[in-house]
Chains A and B, each alone.
Chain A
């Protein structure tokens, strides 16, 4: 019983509202990732679930029970912090066992559980070292081990990988995925890295200014972003945006972009819009819709390349192409896309969808 229910949850610091009426349900055993730019309230929301931050308004339930007033240690939660927060004066072994020691378990049982976790995380050879004698990746393993040893059903992670370098980050990402697969504990994971979110999450919650911008599976968010904000946050390199005009007609809509007009299924909207195109959806010299462009720069990445191009009067586009295209700066090209791959956003920055037939 470790699902989480947030109902109209609000957090205020004085006059400042940092979390504004968040409603969210995290299913038992689910891996949910909070993403969003710095300062959007991810940590605050996580800390409210943990009990480290008071809930100003609304209700938090864990496993169907109201938890607003329950002290952190009694919520059945284990948490991993960004800075690892290991106790510097204790050996790794004692760090791992400290919560059990606090709960007054027998020494034999503590030892047994600690060594089981150490084996699981492959840190047995480090048990007698101090945290200062460990590398960043090892410290992170110990921090995760400290959370595991209490065998809780709910794990919270606050940007656990952001202090690691790229290689280790990938290794630990795989490790965290393995832990979740094997333990099946409900997990809430905060990150500002969309790649971590895409690879780890069952569902992603995108936060913006203390509100939920969109909730969905990684593919839902990638394929059907609800707003320009979500569209530009998910996917790398970022989605391109071009200005255009949408005209409603009988039975169809007509979209004009960079001087090229084409028809679409009817959308109930009339006026200026923004057309979102992912770099990987753009086609060099092909596609249903094509516009002229000029090459600025080609960045070869090995198997593929990023082509930076200029369209119209100073609009920039990034396009991802296979292989290494033979393009020189200032060469004239055409950039195209399939109509179904274009994301349209109205003046309010929300996604526009064709009316259901």
Chain B
């Protein structure tokens, strides 16, 4: 008894210290970012672990019109991408998951293949398309570009999810007099809640964080999104690098993601695994 009790305790100690190491490894950069953002001026170069809670970096960055504008642009782009890619992916998933037609599996494979292209390979072709569509240097160009990687993934996940919804429920709805649109809206979508939340959230995060397209397709400051805007923050002279402001801006940009992840954390995992069980 005694032996097994000590073994059990050792076991627990091992688990918790491992957990502690992982937590430290993943959370320390965040902590450092937040701590640095709360230091002012030269204090940022002192290695102190406790910030002095000065908010002047935040005051500076929040009175910076260019940064606020880029925050707004990012929100517009991310929400548009989420809305558009969900609507399109739901329509595609209904067709691919519930309707029998020839060429369904080649289309699914194509969708999967497209989602595996490296971004950099698409860059020049996409650039031409965006110029041709007259979207260069608009937030529209980014919405268009981000759909290219959010859509295939969303279609894939939502299709596997939609396909596994029971056939008899659909037929019961048909007997109840529902049109296909009403079946999708009132029966399927509520049943797919977790999948919609997780795909929507991933689309949001992807568009919120994207850097390369945002750098390439946008020319002027007033159309930029935050990742690029932060990278381009500069000090008052070329010899000053405004770490404090950058850290404050980064913190502000991280907050929406953390809030979203906390609100929906329960659904994210269930949404992704439920669709993924049968490939």
Contact = CB atoms under 8 A, between A and B. Distances in A.
B43 interface: no
Contacts of A73: 174-178
Contacts of A88: 169, 191
A239 B100 CA distance: 44
A85 B177 contact: no
Contact of A85 (B166, B178, B190, B191): B166
B4 interface: no
Contacts of B186: 98
Nearest to A87: B187
B17 interface: no
Interface string B173-197: 1111110001000110011010000
B159 to A, nearest CB: 20
A150 B182 CA distance: 18
Contacts of A72: 174-175
A6 interface: no
Nearest to B178: A102
Interface in B156-176: 166, 168-169, 171-176
A312 B177 CA distance: 61
B187 A83 contact: no
Contact of B175 (A50, A82, A87): A50
Contacts of A81: 168, 171-172
B182 A102 contact: yes
Contacts of A150: 176
A89 B187 CA distance: 8
Given A87-B187, A88-B191, A89-B190, A99 B177 contact: yes
Contacts of B191: 88-89
A214 B155 CA distance: 50
Contacts of A89: 190-191, 193
A233 B178 CA distance: 39
Interface string A83-96: 10111110000000
Contact of A77 (B169, B175, B178, B187): B175
A76 to B, nearest CB: 11
Contact of A102 (B166, B169, B171, B176): B176
Contacts of A83: 166, 168
A248 to B, nearest CB: 54
A10 interface: no
Nearest to B177: A73
Nearest to B187: A87
Interface string A219-244: 00000000000000000000000000
B187 A79 contact: no
A73 B178 CA distance: 8
Contacts of B172: 79, 81, 85-87, 146
Contacts of A77: 175
A146 B176 CA distance: 9
A103 B169 contact: no
A140 to B, nearest CB: 13
A327 interface: no
A82 B187 contact: no
Nearest to A79: B175
A150 B169 CA distance: 17
A301 interface: no
A55 interface: no
Interface in A35-65: 50, 52
B176 A99 contact: yes
A79 B168 CA distance: 11
Contacts of B169: 85-88
Contacts of B171: 52, 79, 81, 85
Closest 4 CB pairs of A and B: A73-B177, A99-B176, A85-B168, A85-B172
Interface of A: 50, 52, 72-73, 77-79, 81-83, 85-89, 98-99, 102-103, 146, 150
Given A52-B171, A78-B175, A98-B173, 4 more contacts: A79-B171, A89-B193, A99-B175, A99-B176
17 contacts: A50-B175, A52-B171, A52-B174, A52-B175, A72-B174, A72-B175, A73-B175, A77-B175, A85-B172, A87-B169, A87-B173, A89-B190, A89-B193, A98-B186, A99-B175, A102-B182, A150-B176
